[in-house]
Amino acid sequence: MTGGSDPGVRGRDVASLAGVALTGFATALLLVLLVAILGVVAVQGLPALSWRFITTIPRRDFFDAESAAVLPMIIGTTVRVLLMTVFVMPVGVITAVYLSEYARAGSRYTQAVRAAVANLAGVPSIVFGLFGLGFFINFAGRGLDRWTGAPGPVWGQPSVLWASLTLAVMTLPVVIVATEESLRSIPAGLREASLALGATKLQTLTGIVLPNARPGILTGGILAISRAAGEVAPILFTGAAYYLARLPGRLTDQFMDLGYHSYVLATQSPNVGQTRPILFATVLVLLGLTFSLNALAIIVRARMRRSLRAAS
């Protein structure tokens, strides 16, 4: 090393070494934690994981290794996540389009909406669960029941529909922020080119801006799915069931859920030791499902990017 004897230079070397060590340590810590979490789950859960475990409907005593199974939970979680995506994407994208394309940038109204979106993102998920119970089930659901003159509660009870809608409200900020970001990243030159050809603002939006923003919008969808797949609190009162003998067949049916089921296994088991491998196997399946849903969306996004580059 040159100039090693100069105290100033030596001080700089020590400082830069410390910087490398500190950032490296933080990164290593993260990796260790990730490996530790996945390792514990895998080691404890793999013994209980079997083809039968993920492809059969459990009997009531799902704490027992013989009868434990998670097929209804896999279906329930998948359905509620996909339904949520169907609800959240249009509303989130349209809101973001309004905010970034139509609303006056500095206006008080726009600022208020932006603040509301930011605050919505900071609300604890259990509050969304209570909101879903109060608004969707007690207000909207019971209102529908009264209006249709149903003899008993049809809409006014927990269901996969209300759980998905509750999750959609929770993930709305994620989609809005990601969409706005991707709309902003469209080069001004592309909009100008379209407008200079005599396109209206709406034609430019639907013909040029949105098609090019699709990968970014999909990133919002991926983040929303990641956030929603593992959430339990919002569906606790709005749709998740402790046990159902049948698979859900209608929007108004309740459903079993991997996350909620993990909670049940962890807290309600009469025999903790025997249930532990089942619990970890369930968590393993939840991780796998979340990962698969994400992977699916990432593959779709990659194909979109390719088709944008090699547009035909």
In the complex, which residues of this chain contact another protein (CB under 8 A)?
187, 189-190, 192-200, 203, 207-208, 211-212, 308-312
Helix axis angle for 71-97 and 258-268, nearest 10°, is: 130
Q: What's the closest the beta carbon of residue 109 comes to another protein, in angstroms?
A: 16
Q: What's the closest the beta carbon of residue 206 comes to another protein, in angstroms?
A: 11
The residue (of 2 and 312) whose beta carbon lies closer to another protein is: 312
Tokens of 132: 């879903």
The residue (of 59 and 306) whose beta carbon lies closer to another protein is: 306
The residue (of 143 and 207) whose beta carbon lies closer to another protein is: 207
The residue (of 142 and 191) whose beta carbon lies closer to another protein is: 191
Q: What are the distances in angstroms from CA 178 to CA 57, 108, 182, 270?
A: 38, 22, 6, 45
At residue 109, the 3 state secondary structure works out as helix
Q: What's the closest the beta carbon of residue 100 comes to another protein, in angstroms?
A: 15
At residue 311, the 3 state secondary structure works out as coil
The residue (of 195 and 266) whose beta carbon lies closer to another protein is: 195
At residue 253, the 3 state secondary structure works out as coil
Q: What's the closest the beta carbon of residue 112 comes to another protein, in angstroms?
A: 20
How far, in whole angstroms, is CA 238 from its chain's centroid?
17
Q: What's the closest the beta carbon of residue 118 comes to another protein, in angstroms?
A: 25
The residue (of 166 and 194) whose beta carbon lies closer to another protein is: 194
The residue (of 246 and 309) whose beta carbon lies closer to another protein is: 309
Which is nearest to 97 in space by CA: 113, 121, 81, 118?
113
Q: What's the closest the beta carbon of residue 28 comes to another protein, in angstroms?
A: 40
Q: Report the C-alpha gap between 267 and 269 in whole angstroms.
A: 6
Give the residue ranges of DSSP H helices in the chain.
7-45, 51-55, 71-97, 108-122, 125-131, 142-148, 160-184, 188-196, 201-204, 210-229, 233-236, 258-268, 272-309
Q: What's the closest the beta carbon of residue 308 comes to another protein, in angstroms?
A: 5
In this structure, what are the phi and psi dihedrals at residue 109, rounded to the nearest 5 degrees? -60, -45
Enumerate the β-bridge partners of residue 240. 255
Per the CB < 8 A criterion, the answer to whether 186 and 105 are in contact is no
Q: What's the closest the beta carbon of residue 187 comes to another protein, in angstroms?
A: 7
* Burial class, 262, CB count within 10 angstroms (exposed 0-12 / middle 13-18 / buried 19+): buried
The residue (of 65 and 304) whose beta carbon lies closer to another protein is: 304
